[in-house]
Structure 1
């Protein structure tokens, strides 16, 4: 385990022979092509134009690999040593696409740019360590090609992603983000902020004890978060509705529900009752207006309607808690 952690069982890049450098380049190009195709497969249903772009980038990596294999065949024969990125100390690593899910447009575009930048640095450094003229030329050409891949990506983007197609895919990505994260999170924040008002402030005015009030708020917030999270997971698997992973939606709902309740429960850690209550009321005001803002910003709800639904509703629940607590 320690050998793997500190890289004791890896080769230094400076110790690689020219044959091993070629073998490493071949395996790296093969891995990059697979990653691009994995991106294409993951994006094809919702973003077909971007998927086509990544297919062409994978084909470009295949051409690089073919050139490297032909050079290896001429210099060293048919047998290519098995050497991969993880065998070389300090060499850049690639995370499999299944470890970085969910794949989104912004993520894969940024990851592709990083991949080409790292490959360019590798080929530039590898070219310095070779003495054979043909090998040095090919590695230098590949370094230049990787440096131009940003231009290639732009050309492919223009080919497959015109303004209309890009706008369409951006709208799809925004819609998916809203359905998977914003909408469930907003529902949780509303439930946590509003539904916990009555028990927290009822406990506060009934007992006048800040610690007991905090415990009631903590229990109400965490209980509501767990309940809302499991309800969201069980309500829709996302297959037909297209709302995305139920686990991610459940986490967004559960966490935001707990946050909404804890926001005005935490002030009761302050031992002075009216200081804690005043701060809690200020936080409630901020929470309710934050909910109205999110509704207006992401759900395109008019300000007047958002204010009426959230702020007025919260005020009524708050008043209910105060009346019950003072009964």
Structure 2
């Protein structure tokens, strides 16, 4: 496989504006308003990656987000969007227990747990060994500061294979876009992503106050690949919001909005699909078997043809 870096430190790789070049020079993530948190290399030679998205060399290949922080653009707008969908109204978001006093002042608020907001909340792993962490918990508090309901969000971008270190060096040192060996690790869709959302969805559907289930937020190409692995929408019936729901939410670049140099490409929800954890588990377990005796025929071809 081979591919290109599409975005680095928040801006298009081709962007030659002063602000884009300054971000690259300072190694700042504009979505976190701090240094990039994604590191390359060993502990002794750690460098900040800065790579937000990549694309393959095949003509027409989409830019695929490979850093979760890219989805937190516009001051974590994604969290507010999901909160409104889950709770049916707009509330301000606050980190952890800070939301209690704010809810009393503002007649309601949402407490956020995850990624430095209010600390991550672990889920017990099977047989008590270790913990699973849901990326985000959004907890709605009423005007008296009491917990009334909550929802959970899992964010998944794409893991990469190969390397983009030479391409990164070319961008930083010469501001040139070069091809590298970077690829997309689609195997994780089956091996890691789907089993985790099934387990987390099963845990959440037993929670009295989790009435909207789990929101699975990912880039559109990952969304497409997950639904494809599950047999497509025709094998994955749609359901309304409920405690056992899994909401697949696809984010992508808004192609109808042109991006000039010095501007960050806007993201938005481009597609959603709601089903249940039971249907996801059923679809994931279903196997399309080949015809009978395929191994016998392959052995015979090898021996006699």
TM-score by length of 2: 0.23
User: Which structure has the larger Rg?
Assistant: 1
Which structure has more helix as a fraction of its residues? 1
